[in-house]
Chain A
C-alpha cells in the first residue's frame, strides 16, 4: 500500500516537472503552431542561469527565479525576432530551424561555460521530507508540484483574463482580421514566444537541484514535453496539465510493475495509440480550424 502511495506521489512529481517544461511549449505551439525543438535548450539555459546567479551572485534558486525568467525570456524574444518570425508560414521548417538553434545554444554554453556538470544547491528551507504514515514526500518535490500549479493558473489567467490574452486569442483565430483592428500580431507573437521561453527557463532552474546541469540536458526533455503537448491538445493548458499527470502517473505505474525502461516504452506506445485515435488531443480546442 505504502509503495503504491509513494509511487503515486512520484508520478505526481514527474508530472509537475513535465508540466513545467511542457507549459511554455504548449503556449508557443498553441499560439503559433511552431514546433520549438529548441525548447529543451531554453530549459538548459534556465538551469545555467540559476547556476550563474547562485555561483556569482549568491542567489538561492527561488530568489533567482524572476531573473532567470527574464533572462531566458529575452533570449527567446531575440530568437523569435531574428529567426522564428520568418518561418510562421512554414511549420515543418520551424522544426528544423529550432533544432539548429538548439545545437547552437548548446554549443555556445559548452564553449563559454564548459562541458562539465554544474552544481546548483537546492534551497535550505525546502530540504527534508514530510511523512504521513508510510508516505514520504520530499519538501522540494512538493514545492515543485505547487509551483507548477501556480504557474499553470497564472498562465491561464494571462490567456483568458487579460487584454494581452484577449489579443492573443484574437490573433490565433484570425491574424488578418485582428490586424485590421489594430492588433499587432507580430508583437503579440514575440511576447508569447518570450513568455514560453521564460517558463522553460523557470522549469530549468527548478529542476537543477534534482538533475544534473550539463549542456545536453535539454535534448532528452524536449521529446517528452512535446508528447505532453500533443496528447493534451493544441495549445490547451488544461490539456497539457492533464496529459502531464496522465503520463507521469503512467510512467510511475509501469516502472513499478515492470521497470523504468519497459515503463517508458509502454507509455510511448500508449501515446502513439492515443494520438492515432485522438489526433486533436484530450482537450481539442474548438476555436481553431
Chain B
C-alpha cells in the first residue's frame, strides 16, 4: 500500500468520525443546525465531483452547475408530482399547460427519478464531453464551452416555464418517502442520509483517483499528446471522467433539493458554478476529500460571516478567495502537505542534531534531501 493511499484512507477515517460523530455532537443533535450542515455536505459532493474532472484530469468544467441542476430538478419533479396528487402541478396552470407534459410522467416513480438524477446528467455531460474532446479541445476552451453551455441551459430552463416553473423554479414540494420512511429534513436521520451519501461519494472518488484510471487522467492532464502515444484513447478517458463527475453532481443536486425543499434555476447560474470552483480551489483540487472539506468550510464561513458582518460578508469572501488563489494555489490540502513536509524536515533535522553528536563528533550532512 502506498503512503498516499494510506494518507487518504486515514483522512477519510478522520473525516468520517468528524462528520458522523463530531459535528452532530457539537451541535447537540439539533435538527435545525444539522439541517444547515446537511446543506454544506450536499455541496461538498458537487465540489468533490468537480475535483475529479478539474483536479485529476485538468478539465475545468464551468458548467458543473448545469448537471447539478438536472439532478435537483429530477428530484423536485418527483416531489412536485407527489405534492400535486392527481391534479396538474399548480405552475402549469399558470402557464396554461393543459396536461402533464410527457417528460414529467415517468417521474411518478421514485426509482426512475433516482436513476434519472444520476444518468441524465451523466448522459448530457458525456455528450458535451464527446463533442469537445473528440476535437481535442483543452484548457481554457473547455472552460468557455462549458460556461456557454451553462448559460444557454439556464436560459432554456427559464424559458420553458410550462415544464420547469421558469424563474421561480419548482416549489411547494412534498417530503420524500423512501421505502416507507418519510424524510423529515429537520431530523437527525436526514443528516445521516446526506452524510452517508457524501461518504459514499468520497469513497468512489478516492477509488477513482487511486485506480490506474486516475493515474492515466493525471498523465493526460500533464501531457495529453504524450499519453496518446502510449496508446490511450484520451478523449474516452476524458469523457468518462466527465460523465462520472456529472453523475455525482446530479446526485448532489438531488440531495440539495431535499434540503432546501425547492429547485431553482439559480442552481444553474454562472455565479453558483464559479462558487463550486472556488470551494474546490480552497479545499484543494488534488484531493477529493479536501475539495469536499473546502465546500463545507467556505459555506460555514459564509454562514458565519454573514451572521456577524451583515454588510461586509460578501466583500470578505471575495478578499479571501483572491488571497487563497494567490498564496495557497493548491488549497488547504496543498498547504497542509507543505506544512507536513516542512515539519518532517524539521524533525529530521532535530533528530539528526540530537542523535549525531553522540555518535559522531564531526558535523554530518543532515536530512536535507532535495
Contacts and interface: CB of A to CB of B under 8 A. Distances in A.
Given A100-B325, A108-B315, A262 B159 contact: yes
A104 B318 contact: yes
Contacts of B318: 100-104, 106-107
A91 interface: yes
Interface in A100-123: 100-104, 106-108, 111
B153 to A, nearest CB: 9
Given A93-B329, A230-B141, A101 B152 contact: no
B272 interface: no
A185 interface: no
Contact of B135 (A86, A100, A268, A277): A277
Interface stretch (A11-19, A51-59, A170-178, A219-227): A219-227
Given A103-B315, A108-B315, A275 B325 contact: no
B145 A111 contact: no
Given A262-B159, A272-B149, A276-B132, A97 B322 contact: yes
A239 to B, nearest CB: 15
Interface of B is mostly: helix
Contacts of A165: none
Interface in B277-303: 277-278, 281
Contact of A96 (B144, B148, B152, B321): B321
B309 to A, nearest CB: 11
Given A100-B318, A219-B271, A268 B155 contact: yes
A269 B322 contact: no
Contacts of A86: 326
A261 B143 CA distance: 23
Interface residues of B, number: 39
B140 A227 contact: no
B325 A91 contact: no
A103 B317 contact: yes
Nearest to A261: B159
Contacts of A268: 148-149, 151-152, 155
A209 interface: no
A107 B148 contact: no
B139 A227 contact: no
A87 B325 contact: yes
A38 to B, nearest CB: 10
A91 B152 contact: no
A279 interface: yes
Contacts of A227: 144, 148
Given A90-B329, A272-B152, A223 B147 contact: yes
Interface string B168-180: 0000000000000
Given A93-B329, A111-B315, A272 B321 contact: no
Contacts of B137: 275-276, 279
Q: Identify which of B149, B317, B320, B326 gathers the most chain A CB atoms within 10 Å of its CB.
A: B326
Given A96-B325, A272-B148, A276-B132, A107 B159 contact: no
Contacts of B271: 219
Nearest to A29: B140
Given A95-B143, A103-B317, A230-B141, A223 B322 contact: no
B345 to A, nearest CB: 26
A92 B317 contact: no
A246 to B, nearest CB: 15
A275 B315 contact: no
Contacts of B141: 230, 275, 279
Interface string A126-146: 000000000000000000000
B21 interface: no
Contacts of A81: none
Contacts of A262: 159
B52 to A, nearest CB: 16
B60 interface: yes
5 contacts: A86-B326, A95-B277, A108-B315, A226-B147, A230-B141
Given A96-B281, A261-B155, 8 more contacts: A95-B277, A100-B319, A103-B314, A104-B315, A107-B314, A223-B270, A264-B155, A276-B145
Interface of B: 60, 131-132, 135, 137, 139-141, 143-145, 147-149, 151-152, 155-156, 158-159, 270-271, 274, 277-278, 281, 311-312, 314-315, 317-322, 325-326, 329
